[in-house]
Structure 1
Amino acid sequence: MTAWMGELLGTMILIVLGGGVCAGVSLNKSFAANAGWIVIGMGWGLAVAVAVYAVGHVSGAHLNPAVTLALASTGKFPWADVPAYLLAQMAGAILGAAIVYLHYLPHWKATADADAKLGVFVTSPAIDHPLSNLLSEIIGTFIFIVALLAIGANKFTEGLNPLIVGFLVVSIGLSLGGTTGYAINPARDLGPRIAHFLLPIYGKGSSKWKYAWIPVAGPLLGGCFGGLFYQHFFLGQQNPLFYVLMPLIAVALILAHHIGVRQAGRTHNAAA
C-alpha cells in the first residue's frame, strides 16, 4: 500500500467512526440517540486511535492537514509530499462521510431536525461569534499539535502511542470542544461538509458554508503555530516561520472580528 492510499483509508476510517458516533447520538431511532457529549468525545478519540493503528506504519497516519503542514513547517516532513497527503485526506474524509450516510440511511427521514443532520457531518459554533470561534479552533489545534509532538518524544510500550493520541483527542474534546465542536482538522470538517452538500440527504437543509472557513483556517493556523512553538521552545531550534505566522494569526483574528461585526449589524438591522 502506498502512503497516499494509507492517508486516504486512514482518514476514511477516522470519519466513519467519528461521524458515525455523531450520527448515533444525533439521529432519531438510533439506540444511541441523546447519549451525550462524553460519548461523542470518546467516540472521536477511539476513532483517531483505530485509524492511526490501521495506517500508521504505512503513511505515518497524519489524517489531518494541520498535522501535515505542522510537520512540514518544522522540517519533519517533505514539502513535496504535502499536496498528495492533503488530497488523500480530503478524499478519505468525503468517502468516510458518504459511508456514514449509507450506514444510517433510514434515519435521515426519521429525523426532522436539519441542524442535527448537519451536525453528523460538520462542526458548528455553540455561540455564533466568528472571533472567538476562530480563536477556539486555533487554541484547540495548537494544544493538539504541541501535545502530539510531546507524546512522540516519550517512549511507550510498543504499540501504545496511537491509544495515547486517542486519549489526547478525548481530552481536547471534553475540555475545549464545547465551543465549536473541536474540528482541529480541516479535512474532518470540509470533506464531510462537501459530502453533506452533494448527498441526497432527506430534509438536509443548508450546509452553512459561511462558517466553513473557520474550521479550516483555525486548525491550519493553530497547527502550524503549535509545531513551530514546540520546535522553538521545547527543542530550542530557530525557525523564521515562527515569526511570520504570528502576524498571520493576528490578521485572521481581525478578519473574523470584522465578519462578526458585519453579521451583528445585519442582525440588528433585520430586527429593526
Structure 2
Amino acid sequence: MTGDYGHSFAGELLGTFMLVFFGCSTVAVTVLFSAYTGLFQVAVVWGISVTLAIYATRHLSCAHLNPAVSLAMVIAGRMDVRKLPVYWVAQLTGGFLAGAAVYAIFSPSMAVVEAARHIVRGAPESVLTAMLFGEYYPNPSSPVLCSVSPAGAFAVEALGTFWLVLIIFALTEGCNVGRPSSDVAPILIGLTITVLISIFAPLTMAGFNPARDFGPRLFAFLAGWGKVAIPGPRGGFFTIYILAPLVGGSLASLLFHKLLEPLMRGKHGACSCKDHFSL
C-alpha cells in the first residue's frame, strides 16, 4: 500500500487506536477501580480522546476514525468511494489492536475482580468485564434499572450518530460562515461526543462508532468472553452497534448534502473549501 492510500490507512489506524485505547481504558479504570464516580467524568475523557486523536492524525488522513463518518463522507461526495474499504479496514484494525492493548494492561486487575465477584468469564455475569471492550444495552453499570428494547437501542445509536455526523458537517463545511477555524473544530467535535455520551450512555453505553465497538468486541470474543461478547447477552450487536450508526450517519449526510448545504450556498454563495475531519 503506497501513496495516498498508505497515508490514509496509517492515519485511520493510529487515530482509531488512540481514541479506542484512551476511551476503553477510561471505562476500565472506572469499572475496576472506581476511578471516576460520575458519567460526565467518563464522557469528558472520551471527548478529549477524540480531540487528541483528530489532532494527531489529520495530517495523515481526514481523521474520520469512524466507519459511519467515512460512509457519510462518501455519500456527500467528500471522499472517493474507492477509499472506503481502506478507511474501514484501518479503523476496525485500530479498534481491535486497542482492545488487545487494554487487555494486556488491565488483564491482571480483571482477573482479580472476576475472582472476587465469582465471575466466570464467558458466563452471562461476565458482561461486567466484557463492557471494558464492547457496548451493551441497557448499560450494565447504570445505577438505575431501565429497560431498553432492541428497537429502542437501535434508535438511540442511530440518533446519536445522526447528531454527531450532522454537527461534524456543520463544523467543517466551508459554506457555513458560522463554522469555527479548522484549529478549533476538533475540540468542538470532542465536546459533541461528551454531550452525546452524557445523554445516551445510560441506555446503550453510547457507541456511535462501529469500529470503536466491533474492534475491541471481537478481541473480547477471542479472549474468552465468547457469546457474551458476540452476539451479546441480548443479541443484536450487529444491528444496534454497527448498522444503526451507519444508518444514522447516512441520514445526516443526506440531510446536510441535499438540504442544508444548498440552503447555505443559496444565501452565501459557493463554498470556499471542503475540509473535513472527524471521529
Tell me the distance in 1 between the aligned counterparts of 2:167 and 2:191.
11
User: Partner amino acid for 1:52?
Assistant: I
Partner of 1:246: none
**1:124 partnered with 2:136:** yes
Give the structure 1 partner of residue 267 of structure 2. Answer: none
The 5-angstrom pairing of residues 73-84 of structure 1 reads 73-84=75-86
How far off is 1:159 after superposition? 2.1
Counterparts in 2 of 1:157 and 1:76: CA distance versus 1, 3 Å? closer
Partner of 1:230: 256
Native 8 Å contact 1:124 1:211 kept in 2: no
CA distance in 2, matches of 1:168, 1:89: 20
Question: What residue in structure 2 maps to residue 86 of structure 1?
Answer: 88
Bigger mean CA deviation after superposition, 47-56 or 206-215: 206-215
Give yes or no for contact 2:8–2:86 (8 Å, CA) kept in 1. no
CA distance in 2, matches of 1:135, 1:186: 15
Q: Distance in 2 between matches of 1:150 and 1:59?
A: 20
Residues in 2 aligned to 1:157 and 1:225: alpha-carbon distance in whole angstroms: 26
Q: Residue 25 of structure 1 contacts residue 36 of structure 1 at CA under 8 Å; is this kept in 2?
A: no
Q: Is the partner of 2:52 in helix, strand or coil?
A: helix
CA positional deviation for 1:160: 1.7
> 1:135-214 to 2 correspondence within 5 Å?
135-153=155-173, 154-157=178-181, 159-199=183-223, 206-209=228-231, 210-213=235-238, 214=240
Give the C-alpha shift of residue 158 in structure 1: 5.4
Secondary structure in 1 matching 2:79: coil
TM-score (norm 1): 0.81
TM-score, structure 2 as length reference: 0.79
Tell me, what secondary structure is at the counterpart of 2:59? helix
Equivalent residue number for residue 134 of structure 1: 154
RMSD (CA atoms): 1.8
Looking at structure 2, the residues matched to 196 and 43 of structure 1 have their Cα atoms a distance apart, in angstroms, of 22
Counterpart code for 2:156: S
Q: Which residue of 2 aligns with 1:218?
A: 244
Q: Are 1:55 and 2:80 an aligned pair?
A: no
Deviations 1:125-165 (A, max 9, x none): 11341111111111111011101111113443552221111
Is structure 2 residue 38 aligned with structure 1 residue 13? no
Q: Distance in 2 between matches of 1:75 and 1:65?
A: 15
In 2, the alpha carbon distance for the partners of 1:232 and 1:129 equals 32
> Which residues of 2 match residues 37-52 of structure 1 at below 5 A?
37-52=39-54
Question: Higher relative contact order at CA 8 Å, sep ≥6: structure 1 or structure 2?
Answer: 2
C-alpha contact 1:11 1:92 (8 A) present in aligned 2:
yes
- Displacement of 1:223: 0.4
- Aligned equivalents of 1:26 and 1:197: distance in 2? 19
Out of 3, 22, 25, the position equivalent to 2:30 is: 25
The amino acid that maps onto 1:212 is F
* Residues 155 and 135 of structure 1, relative CA distance in 2, 3 Å threshold: closer
Q: 1:54 to 1:74 in 2, by over 3 A?
A: same
Q: Which residue of 2 aligns with 1:247?
A: none
The amino acid across from 2:229 in the alignment is: S
Q: Which runs of 5+ in 2 are unaligned?
A: 1-5, 120-125, 139-146, 264-279
Give the gaps of 5 or more residues in structure 1: 238-272
Deviation for aligned residue 1:123 = 1.1
Identity of aligned residues (%): 28
Deviation at 1:105?
Answer: 2.5
Q: Once structures 1 and 2 are overlaid, which stretch shifts more, 131-140 or 112-121?
A: 112-121
Equivalent residue, structure 1, for 2:103: 101
AA at the equivalent of 1:207: A
AA partner of residue 50 (structure 2): V
CA distance in 2, matches of 1:178, 1:218: 17
